[in-house]
Amino acid sequence: MHTTLLSHRRAGVLLHITSLPGPHAYGDISHYAYQFVDQLCEAGFSVWQILPLGPTHEDLCPYQSLSAHAGNPQLINLEWLVKKGWLATEGLHSNNSLDRQGRIDCIQHAYNQFNLIANSDEKHAWQTFIDENHYWLLNYALFMVLRDEFDNNSWVDWPQEYRDADEHLLQEYKSLHEEKINSIFFQQYVFFQQWAELKAYANKKGVLIIGDMPIFVAHDSAEVWANRQYFAINEYGMADFVAGVPPDYFSETGQRWGNPHYQWDKLEQDDFSWWVERMHTQAQLYDGVRIDHFRGLVQYWEIPASEENAIHGQWVDAPGEKLLQKLTQCFPQLTLIAEDLGTITPDVIKLRNDFSLPGMLILQFAFSGDNDNPYLPENHSENSLVYTATHDNDTTVNWYQALTPETKAYVSESLGGRPIDMPWTLIKVAFDSVALLAVIPMQDLLGLGDGHRMNIPGTTEGNWQWRLLEGQFNYEIRNKAYAMLASSNRVFDPANYDSTQVIQPNSNL
């Protein structure tokens, strides 16, 4: 039997790569990532959940990536390039290497050196990567080179012939800028090499990785620019209606994300080939994929583009059943997870259940006063992931401190009258849940309060910047977590683990 996320009771930690410690502006695929895998094992965890890995815009939001396939070059470990002999140590330790452009400059130096000294095996691996990722790589590279030429402006503001991706012009442009395009290829080759090594290390240690796939893609992205037939945009590249969600727990005015909607009829006519390609890339990166905003596969919230917020809009049907039939047929061994939060209707629950997809249970949402609240521990189901909170929530300590005395009393009553010691009380509830997988944000494991949340939905500034400090996930915390996991029968047992049974994706699309 293949080792899967829900083959037995497990526990995991939610921590994005950018939140890892390190000397640069963001955490990356460095020795700190490998150290974190070791620490997870020591604490009894066997799952690492991260946020999307794509290249971000200046706001750093991983859910509005420049590509649905590419890896963020800011996550590339520069020390790895030094060990390969492709980057001089002096370049690594220059102050410029600490910022966004500095890291790109270092990777460019490495590419130049790669061209000079790479051996035949390395050049073969490089060409194999290009061939196997043909379905997205060239479009992405062209998009990024053009974007750089036009001062990082959105593609809708490029000169018309480039905006409209004139095929003859792009062929000529590709010939004239071959080195720049190959440099982008190299960035992605290095990223995927480094990620494959980290994932192999984690899997060998018994740690599986859950990735995150936003249901929508950013308007300013290679996918929308190169595949506009699949997106609801006009001849000028603009969307008349955009994506988001109506008012909910997180925002009184809803969330206006601004993504273009899909032309679902065109996607279906092409047998969802665009989605299959997208999921193929995810299957190379992760052991399980969380489909963000899963309810959008049943109905999506359509907001007129002229609206400043998401209050006014309408629900529009989407062919989620047909799409999931295709994806589960093509990727039968990949665990898909439904992020079934927000406005959930019976048809959303039916779609999730029809495909036996695990859903998400958030304990911070459990204490509304309703006995039928699905997040209350007594209402949990096995085929689920239980969280104290997500990356969109405040830390559990801060959440609890903000509750009214009446609600705090209700929390205690709902948990059997036990003494409250946040966040460990809620962590223990998560571990004791019947849900097969319990995931705890790192901020909760550390007991952090105000000022440590990852994201405030509906805002665009100051998010995605939280960092774990070196040594902060210390022995005392790992030991406490291990004891709780052991009492909840969630400790990973290496004696019963065979890393050769971890699902390996087919490299051929």
For the stretch 432-441, pLDDT in tens is 999 999 999 9
Domain-ending residue, one of 168, 194, 220: 194
Whole-Å CA distances, 433 to 3, 306, 482: 21, 45, 16
Residue type, 146: L
Six token digits for residue 302: 């359509």
What is the per-residue pLDDT for 94? Answer: 63
Residue 477 CB: number of other CB atoms within 10 A?
16
Q: Is residue 151 part of a domain?
A: yes
Which residues are identified as catalytic? 292, 339, 392
Residue 57 has pLDDT above 50, yes or no: yes
**Whether the predicted pLDDT of 342 surpasses 70:** yes
Q: What is the pLDDT of residue 90?
A: 77
Q: Say yes or no: 276 and 359 in one domain.
A: yes
Position 361 pLDDT exceeds 60: yes
For residue 303, which of 232, 242, 350 has the smallest C-alpha distance? 242
The CATH number for 355's domain is 3.20.20.80
51 with 87, same domain: the answer is no
Both 200 and 157 in one domain: the answer is: no
Domain with 122 in it: 69-194
Let me know whether 190 and 200 are in one domain.
Answer: no
Are residues 145 and 256 located together in one domain of the fold?
no
Same domain, 122 and 240: no
Residue 501 has pLDDT above 60, yes or no: no
Same domain, 355 and 330: yes
The answer to whether residues 135 and 53 belong to one domain is no
Only one residue has tokens 């571990």, namely: 431
Q: Are strands 208-214 and 288-292 parallel, antiparallel or unpaired?
A: parallel
State how far the Cα of 258 lies from the Cα of 233, in Å rounded to an integer: 12
pLDDT band at 315 (very low <50, low <70, confident <90, very high): very high
Domain co-membership, 202 together with 266? yes
Tokens 């330790």: give the residue: 93
pLDDT tops 80 at residue 129: yes
CB 53 within 8 A of CB 70: no
Domain match, 233 and 299 both:
yes
For 263-306, the pLDDT digits (tens) are 999 999 999 999 999 999 999 999 999 999 999 999 999 999 99
Domain assignment present for residue 475? The answer is yes
- Say yes or no: 317 and 463 in one domain: yes
Q: What is the pLDDT of residue 504?
A: 47
Q: What confidence tens digit (pLDDT) does each residue in 137-179 have?
A: 999 999 999 999 999 999 999 999 999 999 999 999 999 999 9
Q: Is the pLDDT of residue 407 over 80?
A: yes
Tell me if residue 201 falls in helix, strand or coil. Answer: helix
| 381 and 475 assigned to the same domain | yes
Q: Does residue 1 fall inside a structural domain?
A: no
Cα gap 72→67, rounded to integer Å: 9
Angle formed by the axes of helices 178-204 and 100-117, to 10°? 100
- Between CA 341 and CA 427 the distance in angstroms is 20
Say how many domains are in the chain.
Answer: 2
Is the Cα dihedral 26, 49, 442, 195 positive or negative?
A: negative
Whether 507 maps to a domain, the answer reads no
Prior bond to 377 cis, omega within 30? no
